[in-house]
Chain A
Amino acid sequence: MNDAILTVLAQVSEQMGFLTPTGPADQAPTFGPVVQVAFHGPAEGVVVVAASQTLAEALARNLLTIDADAAVPAEDCTDALRELANIAAGNLLPILHGDGEYRLDPPEISSWPSLTTDAAHLECVEGTLSACCALR
C-alpha cells in the first residue's frame, strides 16, 4: 500500500505540481499545511496529505505562477495543497480499495495523524510531501 501511495504522490506532484521528486523520505514533515479528503463509496475514510512549508510554497508558486521573489500567502499554500490532495485521493482510491464510484468531500484543513501505518513520504527538491489513507 505504501508503495502505491508513494507512486501516486510522485506522479501527481510532478505532473500537476511541477515539482521534482527524488525518492522516499523517512517521515512526515513537522511544519507545513495538512489537508484531508473524506471519501464515500465502496470504501469510506480519509486521505490525509501533508506538505513541508517549503514544498507548499513551491507548489503554490508553480500553480499560481507567483514570482520567485514574491511572498506566498498562507491561503495560497493551503489551496494549492487542497487541489493536490484532491487529485491524489481520486487517483489512490481505485488502487487501494478497488474500482467503483467514490464521492470525495471538499478537502479540509487537518492535522497529521499521530499513529499511521499506511503512509508514504516523498522527498522532492522543494521539500517533503506525505500521504496516508485511513478507513472508517
Chain B
Amino acid sequence: MTAPSGPLEVLVVDDNRIMRDMVARSVGMSGLPIAQIRQAGDGQQALDAVRAAWTDLVLLDLNMPVMDGETFLRALRADTALRDTLVVVVSTESSGARIERLRGMQAGFVHKPFTPEALCAEVHRLLGDTP
C-alpha cells in the first residue's frame, strides 16, 4: 500500500446522506490535501465510482443496502487495478472478529460515534504520516 503523492481523491460511502456529509466535512477539516470528495450511497455505487475515476481514499460504512461495505472491500481487494486503494471503515461495528477481518484486508477502522480527530488520525496512520 503506497501513500499518494498529491492531493487526495476521496470517496465517502454511506447510505445516510447526513453521515456522508459529516464524514466529508471531517475529512475536509483534517488538514489533508484534498483534491475532491465524492459520495456514494452503497457498496455497488462505490464500486462503480472507483472503477470510473481514480480514488486514493475510501471512507466506508458497513451496513448498507444493495451491497454492504465488507462485500465492497472484498471486491476492491480482488481487483488488481484497485487493490491498493486506501480504505478506512467508519462504522458502529463492535465485533472484534469482524474488525480483525477488515484489518486483515488492509482497512483502517474508526468507530461511530467518531470525532473528526479520530478519523483524521486513522487516515494519517494509513498514509504513514504523523498527524
Residues of A within 8 A of B (CB): 11-12, 15-16, 60, 63-64, 76, 79-80, 82-83, 86-87, 89-91, 93-94, 99-106
Contacts and interface: CB of A to CB of B under 8 A. Distances in A.
Contact of A104 (B63, B96, B98, B115): B63
Interface in B9-25: 15-19, 21-22
Interface of B: 15-19, 21-22, 63-65, 91-98, 112-115
A63 B91 contact: no
A80 B113 CA distance: 13
A93 B115 CA distance: 21
Nearest to A107: B16
Given A86-B92, A91-B94, A101-B95, A63 B113 contact: no
B31 to A, nearest CB: 20
15 contacts: A15-B114, A64-B21, A76-B18, A79-B16, A82-B16, A83-B18, A83-B19, A86-B92, A90-B94, A90-B112, A94-B95, A100-B95, A101-B97, A104-B92, A106-B64
A57 to B, nearest CB: 14
B63 A103 contact: yes
A101 B98 CA distance: 7
A104 B1 CA distance: 31
B78 to A, nearest CB: 21
B37 to A, nearest CB: 16
Nearest to B95: A101
Contact of B113 (A15, A60, A101): A15
Given A63-B21, A99-B94, 8 more contacts: A64-B18, A76-B18, A79-B18, A86-B63, A87-B92, A90-B92, A101-B97, A104-B63
A79 B98 CA distance: 27
A88 to B, nearest CB: 8
For the complex of A and B, list the 9 residue pairs with the smallest distance between their C-beta atoms, beginning with the closest.
Answer: A90-B92, A16-B113, A15-B113, A94-B94, A104-B63, A101-B95, A83-B16, A87-B112, A63-B18
Contacts of B91: 90
A101 B97 CA distance: 8
A106 B15 contact: yes
A99 B95 contact: yes
